[in-house]
Chain A
Amino acid sequence: MQEESDETIAILVQNDDSEAFGFLIERYEEKIKRYGRKFLNTKEDIEDIVQEVFIKAYTYIQSFDANQRFSPWIYRIAHNEFVNELRKKTRQPLGFFDPDTILPFVISSETTDGPIEQAELKKMMEEFLAELDEKYREPLVLFFYEELSYQDISEVLHIPVTTVGVRINRGKVKLKDLYTKKAV
């Protein structure tokens, strides 16, 4: 079972093998927790929500299309749960149409950053991520920490692939600005 793909295990769960679901939890629990820590600070909240994510994943597993990748699907559930929790806590209104999702953008390939620049960016993210807008924070986390592709991030956030690129690029610029301001 350890060598099986997420999608294969998901098919087993769909065929009523609930024990197989345990393997999916093992594979994603830490990732989802790490993802959640970028939204929420309280450990208890994160534990509860991660549990809720897996309960929802099991409940809705029959809606998963095994021809697609499993990771964007489960991150989508996690995204919804964390965003709902965040909105409850901060009483943020629901965003409807974001201007970034309206217009088409031309974006460069996924990343032209070298390993050193990526390491620097991760360092900046550790320090300044909380100061970024949620709309920049999330794609950055999914891209740099969870190592999802633009396409997968588009599936998780339900936004155009070009918007993912724009938000990641803008997020990086904002991070660098914050870093420079602090250095000055």
Chain B
Amino acid sequence: MNNVKDSVLNKIKQGEVAMRPRWHFMLKGVLALSGICILTLWLIYLLSFVVFALVTSGVIMIPAFGFHGLVEFLSALPWVLIFIAAVFIILLEILVNRYSFGYRKPLLYTLFAIISFTIVGTFVVSKTGIHELAMQRSVESRLPVMGHFYKGYGLPPHERISVGEILLINKNGFVLNERVEGRLNVTINDYTKVPTGAAFGVGDQVVVFGLRQEDEIEAWGVKPFYGKMFRPSERTEKMRFQEESEL
């Protein structure tokens, strides 16, 4: 007599063991695939936003100013978002490894595939201009939920990174119309690094690297700004003014 066979078949006959329906597994599969899709879309959104925020804030241009620039760049990176993106990548890796196309390949390959796909996705999303649109609405205070998120990362209050337009060239340097802070006097000296050469003119958009003290900046570096210049709307400036007055 076969104990295991009889025992299992008896349990099946008596209804103690029931077969799970096919839809149960299909639903699980659909949910897992949806999870992969949603996670991938969020990851692409997040990374494209990180790139957008780095360009818009001017942080991406800072490493060109040497060691100090690199240190500032590292401290100004949106580490929370990068950490969340890393968690998403790990979760995706785990989900992908549930499927044979995932676990059959070495982890390095699947990780490379995920990262490559995300980079391509990030590039495509960057080209759509979705973040520029959201940022524009954000500075105009017309983006209800994500407004602070966009403004917080796109126009962060860096005291060593200033972005604006040259209003006037003078003997010490130039006057900068900083997009948030307003007029600032920028001093250029022999130690100021200008990686692209010193030919700046009125109306040029620049990133100035240097400690801002009230309205003065002694520039450690100046570089053309290639991102889109977002300025807080008059309403935002008025609110800022009110806040400052109250303080």
Contacts and interface: CB of A to CB of B under 8 A. Distances in A.
A binds B: yes
Contacts of B97: 158
B236 to A, nearest CB: 47
A124 interface: no
A47 B5 CA distance: 11
B106 A51 contact: no
B112 to A, nearest CB: 10
Contacts of B20: 59-60, 62-63
Interface stretch (B9-17, B65-73, B156-164, B174-182): B9-17
Interface string A100-113: 01111100000000
A158 B21 CA distance: 24
A141 to B, nearest CB: 19
Contacts of A158: 97, 103
Contact of A154 (B19, B103, B107): B103
A102 B106 contact: yes
A70 to B, nearest CB: 15
Interface string A137-154: 000000000000000001
A154 B9 CA distance: 30
Interface in A7-56: 14, 16, 18-19, 21-22, 25-26, 29, 47, 50-51, 54-55
B17 A103 contact: no
B22 interface: yes
B100 to A, nearest CB: 7
A159 interface: yes
Contacts of B21: 62
Interface of A: 14, 16, 18-19, 21-22, 25-26, 29, 47, 50-51, 54-55, 58-63, 97, 101-105, 154-155, 158-163
11 contacts: A14-B22, A25-B2, A55-B17, A58-B8, A61-B19, A97-B107, A101-B106, A102-B108, A104-B106, A104-B109, A163-B106
